[in-house]
Amino acid sequence: MEHRYVSCIYHFCTKEVTVMEIKDTINEVDFSYLRREDFVNFLNENVAIVDDLQDLPESYDSVKVNAILILFCQEGKLQLDINANTFVVHKNDLLFCRPNIILNNYMITPDFKGRVLILSEELIQSMMHGSRNNWDMAFYVNKNPVLSISTEEADLMSQYCQMINAKIKREKKSYHYEVVYALISAVLYEIFAILSNSVTLSNDDMMRQGDILFKKFMDLLPEYVTKDRSVSFYSEKLCVTPKYLSVVCKSLTGKTALGWIHDYTTEVIRYKLKHSSHSIKEISESLNFPNLSFFGKYVRLHLGMSPTDYRKQIKQSVNVDRM
């Protein structure tokens, strides 16, 4: 059977490949890049979907995508390398891909049909906020990126993809973004349900020592991130050095321990500014910042604007969306 070579977008694996090895051929892709592509149905800086992988341009022969990818194979077969590991995806398989891994040697059969859901890391973190069980499932998928689902589950997944795609393409009316996010949340929970019924999660025997340490670190964040944001605080609780904790986090996820602390803190701040009626001073105090000035600088650094401006932006976007 004749095969066609193109390149693609995909998920989690554990073997490290340095960017230095293939830096001359990698095309780095983010949402600002994707919004210019004709083959991408683009919603905003959090969501996009690709309907057809048959006509990907040659610039995607080797890519590093700054987004989380969920690929659903409806027909045919797909093969690609992820950080130098080869994966094969068949009909009714899901393929998951974390940000900033290297994808190349992409090959599909002529009858391949599938969709790729492209999601920002921030959106996923907000949807998984505070749920340790969901982190367990994400951790499992990190080690097992290809998931086979039943025909019934595949039919449901296809319907969700069609609805998300149709909604993105439609004229933006009231609650447009909320509906898309709700559909994506439904997809994630369907995947979690499949995982919970088909795999045993949180099994320490399946994990290496570094994996277990990272999982314990992620379990501590929801409990203590509002109290302390130093790497030494968490490393002490885990009985390791700050340097070792950061090295483990970096090797497994591409992000340091401090990076994860800042990401989780930023998500808590974003949630409180959006959904809480508390004043900015009260939010600052609840998160144990030393003073309001320091809190303001922290928010500017990680959200790109002051807490007051961020709240104004949220209100303006809600008003525009509901017009």
Most confident of 7-21, 73-87, 129-143: 73-87
**Does residue 77 sit in the same domain as residue 168?**
yes
Both 194 and 264 in a single domain?
A: no
Residue 139 pLDDT level (bands cut at 50, 70, 90): low
Q: Which amino acid is at 191?
A: I
Domains contained in the chain, number: 2
Residue 232 reports pLDDT greater than 80: yes
Sequence-separated (6 or more) residues with CB below 8 Å from residue 58: 6, 7
Residue 85 CB neighbours (<10 A): 13
Same domain, 174 and 55: yes
Q: Are 9 and 63 in contact (CB under 8 A)?
A: yes
Buried b (16+ CB within 10 A) or exposed e, 251-288: ebbebbbbebbbbbbbbbbbebbeeeeeebeebbeebe
* 195 and 213 inside one domain: no
Same-domain check for residues 194 and 217: no
Among the listed residues 261, 273, 263, 275, the one whose alpha carbon sits nearest the alpha carbon of residue 307: 273
Q: Are strands 27-29 and 62-65 parallel, antiparallel or unpaired?
A: parallel
Tell me the two tokens of residue 283. 């939010």
Average pLDDT, the chain: 81
What pLDDT shows up at residue 131?
57
Domain ranges, residue 119? 1-206
Run of H or E residues at 242: helix 242-253
| Residues linked to residue 65 through DSSP beta bridges, in sequence order | 29
What is the share, in percent, of the chain residues with pLDDT greater than 70? 83
Do 263 and 299 form a contact (C-beta atoms < 8 A)?
no
Percent of the chain exceeding pLDDT 90 equals 40
Burial of 5 (0-12, 13-18, 19+ CB in 10 A): exposed
Q: Are residues 70 and 168 in the same domain?
A: yes
Q: Which residue has the higher pLDDT, 211 or 228?
A: 228
The CATH number of whichever domain residue 49 belongs to comes to 2.60.120.280
For residues 310 and 323, what is the distance between their CA atoms, to the nearest angstrom?
20
pLDDT digits 0-9 by tens, 190-204: 988 888 765 554 444
Q: Is the pLDDT reported for residue 234 higher than 50? A: yes
167 and 263 in a single domain? The answer is no
Same domain, 213 and 173: no
Co-location of 135 and 212 in the same domain: no
Q: Is 109 in the same domain as 187? A: yes
pLDDT band per the 50, 70, 90 thresholds, residue 134: low
Instruction: Decide which of 190, 206, 222 is a domain's last residue.
Output: 206
Which of 206, 230, 252 is the last residue in one of the domains?
Answer: 206
Q: Is the dihedral of CA 296, 302, 305, 309 positive or negative?
A: negative
One domain, residues 273 and 301: yes
Query: Does the pTM of the predicted model rise above 0.85?
Result: no
Beta bridge partners, 259, equal: none
pLDDT digits (tens, 9 = 90+) for 60-70: 778 888 889 99
State the CATH number of the domain containing residue 225: 1.10.10.60
Are 188 and 211 in a shared domain? no
Q: DSSP state, 294?
A: H
What mean pLDDT comes out for the span 124-147? Answer: 71
C-alpha span between 127 and 131 (Å, rounded): 9
> Of 161, 189, 206, which residue sits at a domain end?
206
Q: Please report the pLDDT score of residue 59 as a whole number.
A: 67
Question: Is the distance from CB of 150 to CB of 84 less than 8 angstroms?
Answer: no
pLDDT > 90? residue 99:
no
3-state SS record for 253-269? HCCCHHHHHHHHHHHHH
C-beta pairs of 298-305 under 8 Å, 24+ apart in sequence: 298/265, 298/269, 299/269, 302/262, 302/265, 302/266, 302/269, 303/266, 303/269, 303/270
Do residues 268 and 225 touch, judged by C-beta distance below 8 A?
Answer: yes
